[in-house]
Amino acid sequence: MKKSAQYSQIIKSHAKRLGFNSCGIAEAGFLEEEAPRLEKWLTNGFHGEMQYMENHFDKRLDPRLLVDNAKSVISLSYNYYPESLQSSDSYKVAKYAYGEDYHHVIKDKLFEILSCIRDEIGEVNGRCFVDSAPVLERAWAEKAGLGWNGKHSLMIQKQQGSYFFLAELIIDLELEYDAPFTTDHCGKCTKCIDACPTEAILPNNTIDGSKCISYLTIELRDNIPLQFKDKMDNWMFGCDICQDVCPWNRFAKPHQESLFRPKSGMLEMSKQDWEELTEETFQKVFKKSAVKRTKYAGLTRTINFLSEN
């Protein structure tokens, strides 16, 4: 067996041991097809007030600018589909934010894989990424054969649906590379497009981020524009509408990650409970949670917007 294939097997076995659902590897290089798409998306202003999306344009397209002499991009997926859901008549939090902040949980696992690589293979230079750096993760996951990008722009896997996080390890080690995923299995289905209440899902797998409920409830720091009144479907942090209606998510199975379990009582909170939310309760319910990104003021702003007649 070639060393590159042997190394790839070592990495994938550790990924499986640490609970990742899939692991694929692509050769590091310039994302030629993504460059004009990203430029057009930014030019159209689909990033709204997410000014950081305009930064590091070159690094987003070439991982070799993030890691010196990078040879491989390892893409991994980690399931977050919960066993239990919130009450349907309450204000809603996206499922990925039920438990502890995924950035920290998954990054710790990536650091462990990187440590194992160094222990078993040798001195390897690399960096770990979990949705917090200029990496076009869905493009790399597709190149690594993990799945395809649906019309809602999220990655879908046949056996799992789309309720999973993506993460990357970019390293300066040559590995055996997986075949890219080239088939779109969405077909003529438009359920996600039809279900989006703010019409944020456009043709050609494009999202107008400035209209997306996730953007409005998390990224937008100003008041939510009145044009979205009565179109938010009670989402106060993030949104899962396009995933909830996707037929592929009938294959979603509950995760086994204890750190992703919601805090006691959170799923049972009523609209009134949320409307009476104090900062103390916010800190308790969302301790170590991704929801803390919007801060107490941001969450209550959204709750007030949703509750006002």
Q: What is the pLDDT of residues 186-197, one digit of tens each?
A: 999 999 999 999
In a domain, 69, yes or no: yes
Q: Is residue 165 domain-shared with residue 218, that is, in the same domain?
A: no
Q: Is residue 265 domain-shared with residue 147, that is, in the same domain?
A: no
- Boundary-marking domain end, from 121, 141, 171: 171
Q: Is residue 12 domain-shared with residue 160, that is, in the same domain?
A: yes
pLDDT of res. 203: 81
Check pLDDT > 80 for residue 51: no
H/E/C letters for each residue in 139-179?
HHHHHCCCCEECCCCCEEECCCECCEEEEEEEECCCCCCCC
Split into its structural domains, the chain has a count of 2
In a domain, 38, yes or no: yes
Q: Is residue 73 domain-shared with residue 203, that is, in the same domain?
A: no
Check pLDDT > 80 for residue 37: yes
Q: Is residue 73 domain-shared with residue 109, that is, in the same domain?
A: yes
pLDDT of res. 286: 93
The residue-averaged pLDDT of 1-26 equals 96
Q: Is residue 140 domain-shared with residue 214, that is, in the same domain?
A: no
pLDDT in tens, 237-268: 999 999 999 999 999 999 999 999 998 889 99
The residue-averaged pLDDT of 113-128 equals 96
Q: Could you tell me which residues come within 8 angstroms of residue 93 by beta carbon, excluding any fewer than 6 positions away? A: 86, 236, 237, 238, 266, 291
- Boundary-marking domain end, from 171, 204, 237: 171
Q: Which of 143, 136, 168 is nearest to 41 (CA)?
A: 136
Check pLDDT > 80 for residue 149: yes
Residue 273 is part of which domain span?
Answer: 191-307
Q: Is residue 149 domain-shared with residue 227, that is, in the same domain?
A: no
Q: Is residue 61 domain-shared with residue 141, that is, in the same domain?
A: yes
- pLDDT category at 205 given cuts 50, 70, 90 is confident
Q: Is residue 204 domain-shared with residue 125, that is, in the same domain?
A: no
In a domain, 235, yes or no: yes
- Boundary-marking domain end, from 139, 171, 203: 171
Q: Is residue 7 domain-shared with residue 142, that is, in the same domain?
A: yes
The residue-averaged pLDDT of 145-168 equals 96
Active site residues: 131
In a domain, 179, yes or no: no
Contact 297, 221 (CB under 8 A): no
In a domain, 219, yes or no: yes
pLDDT in tens, 62-81: 999 999 999 999 999 999 99
- pLDDT category at 309 given cuts 50, 70, 90 is low
Q: Is residue 166 domain-shared with residue 203, that is, in the same domain?
A: no
> Which percentage of the chain shows pLDDT scores above 70?
99
Check pLDDT > 90 for residue 32: yes
In a domain, 89, yes or no: no
Q: Is residue 263 domain-shared with residue 162, that is, in the same domain?
A: no
Q: Which of 137, 146, 125 is nearest to 20 (CA)?
A: 146
128 φ, ψ (degrees, to nearest 5): -105, 140
Contact 49, 220 (CB under 8 A): yes
30 φ, ψ (degrees, to nearest 5): -80, 130
Angle, vertex CA 251, rays to CA 245 and CA 255, nearest 5? 105
pLDDT of res. 1: 65
The residue-averaged pLDDT of 94-106 equals 96
pTM over 0.85: yes
Check pLDDT > 90 for residue 87: no
- In whole angstroms, give the CA distance from residue 230 to residue 298: 18
Task: Name the burial class of residue 52, with classes exposed (0-12), middle (13-18) and buried (19+) by CB atoms within 10 angstroms of its CB.
Answer: exposed
In a domain, 125, yes or no: yes
- In whole angstroms, give the CA distance from residue 270 to residue 127: 42
